[in-house]
Amino acid sequence: MPSTRDSYAGALETLLVGLARTGDRDAFAELVRRRQSWIRNLMRRCCGDATLADDLAQQVFLQAWRKIHHLREANRFGAWLKRLAITVWLQHMRAKDALKDADEYDETIPAPPAAPGLAMDLDRALASLSEPVRICIVLAYHEGMSHEEIAEITDLPLGTVKSHIRRGAQRLREILSDYRTSPESEMAP
């Protein structure tokens, strides 16, 4: 006899959200199973630390379980979950006092050294950006959000968001360009 959990594997997400809103733990578990990789990847791109990303993703889903009954439109679950994830990340940053001066762009953070023979990847380059700049870049390029949406979700002024994206993208180009021309990159397979 199939379990309730097995029967949810093919269910529409909107149905699962509706069931989870009524307290159905198996329906929520299926939502987590479907969305956990996406949320963990988003958190990893935001923080550059896989262990911290896992912890933050767990916090996201814990808050989602506590707040899912507030979600009015089941078809907006993905957008709602993304906003919740960004809120968790911003709370983490604020707890670290990382946003005390969001207008400051820190170009002194060096890119993490590449292991010999391995190509520099975007995640390593992202890790070299300050946290406010990194979140703007991730939301713009990884999540496809507009400048206005990023400003709204991060509570940063629109001009600051635009500046962070422009300067952050330029810094990424410099890092990746420098790496392509370095002797180590010629040794990479």
CATH number assigned to the domain comprising residue 138 = 1.10.10.10
| 54-68, 87-101, 164-178: the lowest-pLDDT one | 87-101
Q: Are residues 146 and 74 in the same domain?
A: no
End-of-domain residue from the set 96, 112, 147: 96
Give the chain's domain count.
2
End-of-domain residue from the set 96, 118, 150: 96
Q: Are residues 33 and 47 in the same domain?
A: yes
CATH number assigned to the domain comprising residue 61 = 1.10.1740.10
- What's the mean pLDDT when you consider all of the chain? 82
End-of-domain residue from the set 96, 123, 157: 96
Q: Decide: 70 and 77 in contact? Cβ < 8 Å.
A: no
Q: Are residues 3 and 91 in the same domain?
A: yes
Tokens representing residue 101 in the block:
């001066």
Q: Tens of pLDDT along 63-96?
A: 999 999 999 999 999 999 999 999 999 889 888 7
Percent of the chain with pLDDT over 70: 77
Q: Are residues 10 and 80 in the same domain?
A: yes
Q: Tens of pLDDT along 32-50?
A: 999 999 999 999 988 888 8
For residues 105 and 21, the model is more confident at 21
Q: Which domain holds residue 143?
A: 101-189
Q: Are residues 91 and 5 in the same domain?
A: yes
**Which of the four pLDDT bands, split at 50, 70 and 90, describes residue 133?**
very high
Q: Are residues 105 and 174 in the same domain?
A: yes
Average of per-residue pLDDT across 21-39: 96
Which phi and psi (to 5°) does residue 143 adopt?
-100, -5
Q: Are residues 54 and 7 in the same domain?
A: yes
Q: Are residues 6 and 74 in the same domain?
A: yes
Average of per-residue pLDDT across 106-127: 56
Q: Are residues 172 and 130 in the same domain?
A: yes
Q: Are residues 1 and 72 in the same domain?
A: yes
Q: Are residues 114 and 148 in the same domain?
A: yes
Distance separating alpha carbons of residues 180 and 114, to the nearest angstrom:
12
Tokens representing residue 103 in the block:
């207008």
Q: Tens of pLDDT along 134-163?
A: 999 999 998 999 999 999 988 899 999 999
User: Which residues does 21 contact at the CB level (< 8 Å), separation at least 6?
Assistant: 68, 69, 71, 74
Tokens representing residue 78 in the block:
């993905």
Q: Are residues 110 and 183 in the same domain?
A: yes
